[in-house]
């Protein structure tokens, strides 16, 4: 049978034969359903692949978050240890300041007693010199010990002495609460420890190998006196170590010039 005739026959059967018509319709519907199922399966597969990728990404994010949490915990522990260490240093520093204040008060009282005794009993002059030397040694040992604490606290020698004497002078009422000793450059001279009202000039050095260190300090005093037109109320020189001959000569000149001289070790 030719295709045209076959086509006409099929169309006629669809129009006239009810069962045949339903059979054809059923076949056509099944094919469409199968195609739809195929498309749905393909879409489902793509969704599953996408979901798997999302799960893998989420797993990586969870792993990264866990590492961040661990790092945060370590940082918090480290910060806590640093805070504890800082608190201990502050407590120790305050203890040292109190000790210095007490030592300075005792030292001033001793000097007053010595001056009174010297005025009344000239024959005790040699004993006075020995006592003063012992006091100087006491201050020297104290300063040497403070230098070790300064190294542990991570401060420069100048910074440590400025903070130390600031607290002492504030406690003694020499400078007002909240004031701080500072460094300054005056008339081209670098001053380690300075305050303008009352006028305070100090110098601190770790080592003095000659009396030139004292001459340098006198030059700085003259520069301050030139600018401010008056002499410092307090002037002091601190040397942590040096040859015995040099230390004693500086001490002799300091006594002559009214300079407070403190030294740590002589050898």
For residue range 160-199, list pLDDT tens digits in order.
Answer: 888 888 988 998 899 999 999 999 999 999 999 999 999 9
Q: Phi and psi for 56 in degrees, rounded to 5?
A: -65, -40
Is a pLDDT exceeding 80 seen at residue 262?
yes
Helix (H, G, I), strand (E, B) or coil at 242: strand
pLDDT at 163: 84
Give the chain's mean pLDDT. Answer: 78
pLDDT at 123: 47
3-state secondary structure 62-86: HHHHHHHHHHHHHHHHHHHHHHHHH
**Comparing 216-220, 222-226, 237-241, which segment has the lowest mean pLDDT?**
237-241
Is a pLDDT exceeding 50 seen at residue 265?
yes
For residue range 24-37, list pLDDT tens digits in order.
Answer: 666 665 556 556 65
Average pLDDT over residues 133-150: 53
List, as own/partner pairs, every contact residues 220-228 make where C-beta atoms lie below 8 angstroms and the sequence separation is at least 24, other chains included: 220/186, 220/189, 220/190, 220/191, 223/186, 223/187, 223/188, 223/189, 224/186, 224/187, 224/189, 224/191, 224/194, 224/199, 226/187, 227/186, 227/187, 228/196, 228/199
Q: Phi and psi for 215 in degrees, rounded to 5?
A: -60, -40
Which position has the higher pLDDT, 143 or 105? 105
Average pLDDT over residues 84-89: 78
Is a pLDDT exceeding 90 seen at residue 137?
no
Alpha-carbon dihedral angle through residues 191, 239, 210, 233, given to the nearest 10 degrees: 50
pLDDT at 243: 94
Residue with tokens 């903070």: 163
Q: How much of the chain is helix, strand and coil, in % rounded to 5? A: 75, 15, 15
Contact 190, 183 (CB under 8 A): yes
Cα–Cα distance for residue pair 200/234, rounded to 1 Å: 5
**Comparing 20-29, 40-49, 246-255, which segment has the lowest mean pLDDT?**
20-29
Is a pLDDT exceeding 90 seen at residue 77?
no
Taking residue 98's Cβ as centre, other Cβ atoms within 10 Å add up to 13
Q: Phi and psi for 2 in degrees, rounded to 5?
A: -70, 155
Upper half-sphere CA count for residue 36 (Cβ side, 13 Å): 6
pLDDT band at 254 (very low <50, low <70, confident <90, very high): very high
pLDDT at 68: 78
What Å distances lie between residue 243 and 202, 208, 239, 266, CA to CA?
Answer: 21, 8, 11, 5
């Amino acid at each position: 049978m030719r295709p045209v005739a076959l086509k006409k026959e099929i169309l006629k059967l669809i129009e006239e034969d009810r069962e045949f018509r339903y059979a054809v319709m059923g076949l056509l519907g099944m094919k469409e359903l199968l195609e739809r199922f195929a498309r749905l399966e393909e879409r489902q597969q793509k969704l599953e692949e996408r979901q798997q990728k999302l799960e893998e990404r989420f797993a990586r994010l969870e792993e990264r978050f866990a590492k961040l949490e661990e790092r945060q915990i370590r940082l918090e522990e480290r910060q806590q240890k640093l805070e504890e260490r800082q608190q201990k240093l502050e407590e120790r520093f305050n203890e040292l300041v109190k000790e210095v204040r007490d030592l300075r008060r005792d030292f001033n009282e001793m000097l007053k007693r010595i001056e009174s005794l010297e005025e009344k009993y000239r024959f005790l002059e040699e004993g006075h010199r020995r006592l003063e030397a012992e006091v100087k040694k006491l201050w020297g040992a104290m300063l040497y010990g403070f230098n070790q604490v300064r190294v542990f606290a991570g401060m420069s020698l100048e910074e440590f002495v400025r903070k130390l004497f600031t607290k002492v002078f504030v406690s003694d009422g020499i400078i007002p609460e909240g004031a701080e000793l500072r460094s300054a450059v005056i008339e081209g001279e670098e001053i380690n420890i300075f305050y303008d009202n009352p006028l305070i000039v100090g110098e601190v050095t770790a080592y003095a190998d000659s009396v030139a260190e004292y001459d340098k300090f006198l030059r700085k005093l003259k520069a301050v006196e030139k600018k401010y037109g008056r002499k410092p109320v307090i002037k002091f020189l601190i040397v942590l170590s040096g040859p015995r001959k040099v230390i004693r000569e500086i001490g002799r000149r300091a006594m002559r010039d009214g300079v407070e001289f403190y030294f740590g070790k002589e050898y």
